[in-house]
Structure 1
Amino acid sequence: MFLLVVGHSHRFSAMQPTFRRLIETINRYFKEVLYAVGELRNEMIKPPSTETNMKITSNGRFNPYFKNVMAAVDFDLRFTYVLAGWEGSTHDALILADALERDDGLSVLAGKYYLVDARYAARPGFLPPYRGTRYHLKEFDSRNYPRNSRELFNLRHSSLRVPIERAFGALKNRFKILYSKPFHPYKTQVKLVLVCCILHNWILQFGNNQHVPLEAKWRANVRDEDDLGDIEEDNRGMAQIRDDVATDMSLNQKKPTLAIKSKPQN
């Protein structure tokens, strides 16, 4: 019953004829499963390993520049931190501040940093792309190479953002209740977000990935962020780290080469 609710957004009244149970009974067992799965949060949603992910170490475009990255979604599409309950209109920076101030909140290990989108300022432990510079993958086709170090940095930053989009795409595919008109109390809605992320991680670990969108599909569909609103000023130290990474990338980039055909001599 619980999976029908979260997976297909079925209402209790619609399931009553199928399971031949009172709505009160369905509601009671729904809450019991909700709380039971929620108790797995510390086991199924936890910070990633301090070891650099193979998707980074095995790719010269990212290693060593992004080897210290952690994310709320890791490179295996698993959620490593979830904070639900804020209104959709709240600025991302305020939500991040709340996550950092909580006793059990988001933490940044020494020498690590999170990749964040352009709505955040550069600050210790958080590395956004350059604003006002080409960023989206669709802007860099085979004939439109990055023209400078900032564009190159943004291109690779955008590539590493794809796992986040795919993870949320998988949530949307699996748990229709997250994208349907809510019919549960607000506190239950908050718990449902966490529980769906727990189930998502469990399925990736023990199940299959049939609901995970293909990477090729999402590489061309990273969301635009034209309306960024008010952004706090970048931290100079973190902005300098970003500049250093961008410069190092540019110096080590393999330039595209043109094949020159020689004319046969008579």
Structure 2
Amino acid sequence: MAFTSSESNDSEMASNSSESSGWMYEAAAIAAYAMLDCGISSSEKKPRKVPEESGYQFVQRQLSNEESCYNMFRMGRLVFYSLHEELVNNYGLTSSDEMCSIEALGMFLWMCGAPQSVRQAKHIFSHSLETVSRRFNDVLEAVNLLAAKNIKPIDETFAVVHPKIREHRSWPHFRNCIGAIDGTHIEVIVPPSKQPVHMNRHGYCSQNAMAVCDFDMRFTFVVVGWPGSAHDTRIWRDTVFNKYKNTFPQPPVEKYYLVDSDYPNRNGYLAPYKGQRYHITEFQNASQPIGLKELFNHAHSSLRNVIERSFGVLKMKWRILLKMPSYSMEKQAKIIIACMALHNFIRDSNLSDNDFDTLASDETYVDGDSGTTTSYVGDEEDMEDVRDAIVQALAGEY
């Protein structure tokens, strides 16, 4: 503040200034004493930092732009709002005093897609660690309830041949195929005592998740929780014939799933010929299939590749699956299932999606984290007859 005066009142102002200064020093002394009496030093008393943007504002800013929404939440705006409505109306997602349901969903997708830690979410969304963790769990539970409804075949009778089978160059030889099965490894952090059993053949600790998919790249069944050292065949046998035999989408008579050479060639599960080239990548920059068995394997692999591409989209979109945070094993399993449910929800929207579009027709894609090689399991004569019949039909066109 600036003061102006004339020469006639200089002395009066000096006197007033002296009195004012004395009063100000006295007031400052009283304030300092009060702060010391409360155990607070003047250097410790800092104004509370006000965030430049609240978590809700952050979410709304991403939703205002289609590209930002996709990059941050791994889905377009229409899918985001549809998912939010579905979770709120049917699967128990609610708002809380600290965080509304829109913000909670946005935070969950942001954490799973990047991935981002709880501490990073605390910084961006301006909530306590406890609030971030609790609301993440709220959305996780809601999405797992969704998974129970949307991770299943659209046609549970498998009465209709899938259009992708009819469009494939091997039609009509695989007309009874209803999907593909494989395992994939999800890197996890486990206590030292559990590391040996979770160590997979790739040299890191993982869960071996077995999944079934259809030819729309939708997951129709998943089983998680198995340690990385578990063989694909062991997981498959326990799932199909034991623990989940009543909920697994069993193939009807004469129908079958495509499996790779880690699985047996048994009724309902058609495997390739062992000891022959199989993966599409093995035929690249090389000769065409040699002999009828390689011809069968080539056609089989190009169809079964849909499970590889489905895993590829899943991990491309939800990068939390590339290295899971150090949550409990139960929570890690729920996150895997939740990501598959989100994968299906996006696919079921029938809207264009960059990640799906990238791998939808790439028959050369191979999931680098596929399941564990198994010991030999005997084939069954009936499925050998099916395989040989397809070979003979292909031979007529070769």
In the superposition, the TM-score normalised over structure 2's length comes to 0.59
- Structure 2 CA distance, aligned partners of 1:222 and 1:181? 18
Q: Shift in Å at residue 109 of structure 1?
A: 2.1
Q: Secondary structure at the match of 2:127?
A: coil
Question: Are 1:208 and 2:352 matched, yes or no?
Answer: yes
Q: Shift in Å at residue 19 of structure 1?
A: 1.3
Please give the per-residue CA displacement for 1:32-58, whole angstroms capped at 9, x wherever unaligned.
Answer: 111111111233111243211111112
Aligned to 2:265: 122
Question: Are 1:93 and 2:229 matched, yes or no?
Answer: no
Question: Are 1:191 and 2:334 matched, yes or no?
Answer: yes
- Structure 2 CA distance, aligned partners of 1:41 and 1:181? 19
Q: Shift in Å at residue 138 of structure 1?
A: 3.1
Contact 2:232/2:374 (8 A) holds in 1: no
Matching residue's letter, 1:238: M
Aligned to 2:392: 247
Q: Which moved more, 1:43-52 or 1:164-173?
A: 43-52
Please give the per-residue CA displacement for 1:233-252, whole angstroms capped at 9, x wherever unaligned.
Answer: 1112211211111111112x
Q: 2:162 aligns with which of 30, 48, 53?
A: 53
Closer, same or farther: CA 216–56 of 1 in aligned 2, 3 Å: closer
Higher relative contact order (CA 8 A, sep 6+): 1
Please give the per-residue CA displacement for 1:159-212, whole angstroms capped at 9, x wherever unaligned.
Answer: 012211111111111111111142211101111111100000111122432113
Q: Shift in Å at residue 114 of structure 1?
A: 0.5
Contact 2:151/2:344 (8 A) holds in 1: yes
- Structure 2 CA distance, aligned partners of 1:11 and 1:52? 44
Closer, same or farther: CA 31–190 of 1 in aligned 2, 3 Å: same
Any residues of structure 2 matched to 1:59-138 within 5 Å, and which? 59=168, 61-71=169-179, 72-100=212-240, 101=242, 102=244, 103-138=246-281
Please give the per-residue CA displacement for 1:95-141, whole angstroms capped at 9, x wherever unaligned.
Answer: 11121121323422222100001101111110110000121223335
Q: 1:34 aligns with which of 128, 140, 147?
A: 140
Question: Are 1:7 and 2:147 matched, yes or no?
Answer: no
Contact 1:48/1:74 (8 A) holds in 2: no
Select the structure that is richer in strand.
2
Matching residue's letter, 2:293: R
Q: Shift in Å at residue 20 of structure 1?
A: 1.5
Q: Which runs of 5+ in 1 are unaligned?
A: 256-266
- Structure 1 CA distance, aligned partners of 2:307 and 2:345? 17
Aligned to 2:316: 173
Q: Shift in Å at residue 24 of structure 1?
A: 1.0
- Structure 1 CA distance, aligned partners of 2:128 and 2:297? 55
- Structure 2 CA distance, aligned partners of 1:235 and 1:5? 46
Closer, same or farther: CA 142–9 of 1 in aligned 2, 3 Å: closer
- Structure 1 CA distance, aligned partners of 2:154 and 2:227? 27
- Structure 1 CA distance, aligned partners of 2:324 and 2:336? 14
Q: Secondary structure at the match of 1:105?
A: coil
Aligned to 1:260: none
Select the structure that is richer in helix.
2
- Structure 2 CA distance, aligned partners of 1:198 and 1:145? 38
Closer, same or farther: CA 228–26 of 1 in aligned 2, 3 Å: closer
Closer, same or farther: CA 39–143 of 1 in aligned 2, 3 Å: closer
- Structure 1 CA distance, aligned partners of 2:278 and 2:307? 16
Q: Shift in Å at residue 9 of structure 1?
A: 1.9
- Structure 2 CA distance, aligned partners of 1:109 and 1:249? 24
Question: Are 1:155 and 2:298 matched, yes or no?
Answer: yes
Contact 1:113/1:127 (8 A) holds in 2: yes
- Structure 2 CA distance, aligned partners of 1:241 and 1:48? 26
Q: Percent identity?
A: 35
Matching residue's letter, 2:248: G
Aligned to 1:264: none
- Structure 1 CA distance, aligned partners of 2:142 and 2:327? 18
Closer, same or farther: CA 18–139 of 1 in aligned 2, 3 Å: closer
Q: Which moved more, 1:213-222 or 1:196-205?
A: 213-222
- Structure 2 CA distance, aligned partners of 1:221 and 1:186? 27
